[in-house]
């Protein structure tokens, strides 16, 4: 059995969860944040070194303005309410994606959270914000070219995730079976696990189920 070190999740289905209950979409996102809280704690308890969550993509700017601003304020509230716990639990917060394009107050809070957790060594919570994998790969390739050679190794070393363990398992909720521009490079050898469960209903037991499936699979990295 191999133990996963790094799990990433595409948290999908908040809108459908709300629609099924005749509630506003934002309520689905609020419940989605509750699921994030549960999962972050559980991932730590399960011994994961890194958890990467797809919170806001480069494409999400196309959503209605009130939904975008509601997501930003949920993010702010999440940092304000949970940062002390991350500091106490030795969790290092990391952002992948170009978060500096977010509203200035969100950027300020993020930078405070990054600074306060920078020296933590217990586990890593990476949040993807204004993230798109093609954009990440293009930025990494440009930096690699500036330094000399473009190879898989030099690009890999310039990715936003360069300081994270290799991605072992990528989970997507809500029944969609695609990667939606998330961690395309890092997914090269990751196991993929899809579930119909909508994100607000995702529990630590589902994560355990995915990890157990991962442990049963034999990874050959193209060899035999």
**What does each C-alpha distance from 70 to 99, 113, 131, 132, 205 come to in angstroms?**
17, 20, 18, 21, 29
181 is catalytic: no
Is 191:217 a contact under the CB 8 Å cutoff?
Answer: yes
The CA radius of gyration of the chain, in Å to the nearest whole number, is: 17
Q: In whole angstroms, how close is the CB of 115 to ligand FPP at the nearest point?
A: 18
Angle at 49 between CA 33 and CA 188, to 5 degrees: 90
- C-alpha to C-alpha distance for 10 and 172, rounded to whole angstroms: 5
193 beta partners = 171
- Segment 163-182, which members bind ligand FPP (CB under 6 A)? 174
From residue 3 to residue 22, the character string flagging contacts with ligand FPP as x (rule: CB under 6 A) and all else as - is --------xxxxxx------
> Whole-angstrom Cα distance, residue 54 to residue 119?
23
Sign of the torsion formed by the C-alpha atoms of 75, 178, 50 and 102: negative
Interaction mask 24-63, ligand FPP, x per CB under 6 A: -----x--xx--x----------------x-x----x---
The catalytic residue among 60, 89, 120, 201 is: 60
Q: Which is nearer to ligand FPP, 12 or 158 (CB)?
A: 12
* Catalytic status, residue 130: no
Using rule CB under 6 A, residue 102 touches ligand FPP? no
Six-digit token pair at 93? Answer: 């917060």
Nearest distance from C-beta of residue 222 to ligand FPP, angstroms: 32
Q: Measure the CA–CA gap between 80 and 76, rounded to whole angstroms.
A: 6
Q: Does 195 bind ligand FPP (CB under 6 A)?
A: no
x/- map, 58-87, ligand FPP, by CB under 6 A: --x----------x--xx--x---------
How many chain residues interact with ligand FPP (CB under 6 A)? 19
Give which of 126, 203, 173 is closest to 11, Cα–Cα.
173
If binding is defined by CB under 6 A, does position 97 make contact with ligand FPP? Answer: no
Residues taking part in catalysis: 12, 60
Q: What residue ranges bind ligand FPP (CB under 6 A)?
A: 11-16, 29, 32-33, 36, 53, 55, 60, 71, 74-75, 78, 127, 174
């Amino acid at each position: 059995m191999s133990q996963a070190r790094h799990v990433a999740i595409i948290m999908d289905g908040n809108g459908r969860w709300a629609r099924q209950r005749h509630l506003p979409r934002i309520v689905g996102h609020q419940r989605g944040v509750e699921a994030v809280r549960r999962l972050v704690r559980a991932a730590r308890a399960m011994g994961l070194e890194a958890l990467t969550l797809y919170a806001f993509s480069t494409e999400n700017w196309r959503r209605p303005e009130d939904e975008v601003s509601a997501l930003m304020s949920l993010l702010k509230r999440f940092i304000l309410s949970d940062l002390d716990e991350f500091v106490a639990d030795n969790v290092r917060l990391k952002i992948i994606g170009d978060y500096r394009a977010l509203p200035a107050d969100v950027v300020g809070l993020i930078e405070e959270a990054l600074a306060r957790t920078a020296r933590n060594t217990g586990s890593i919570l990476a949040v993807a914000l204004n993230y798109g994998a093609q954009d990440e790969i293009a930025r990494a390739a440009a930096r690699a070219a500036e330094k000399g050679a473009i190879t898989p190794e030099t690009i890999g070393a310039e990715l936003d995730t360069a300081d994270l363990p290799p991605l072992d398992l990528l989970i997507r909720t809500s029944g969609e079976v695609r990667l939606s521009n998330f961690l395309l490079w890092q997914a090269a050898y990751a196991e993929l696990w899809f579930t119909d469960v909508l994100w607000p209903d995702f529990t630590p037991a589902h994560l355990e189920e995915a990890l157990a499936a991962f442990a049963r699979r034999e990874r050959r990295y193209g060899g035999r």
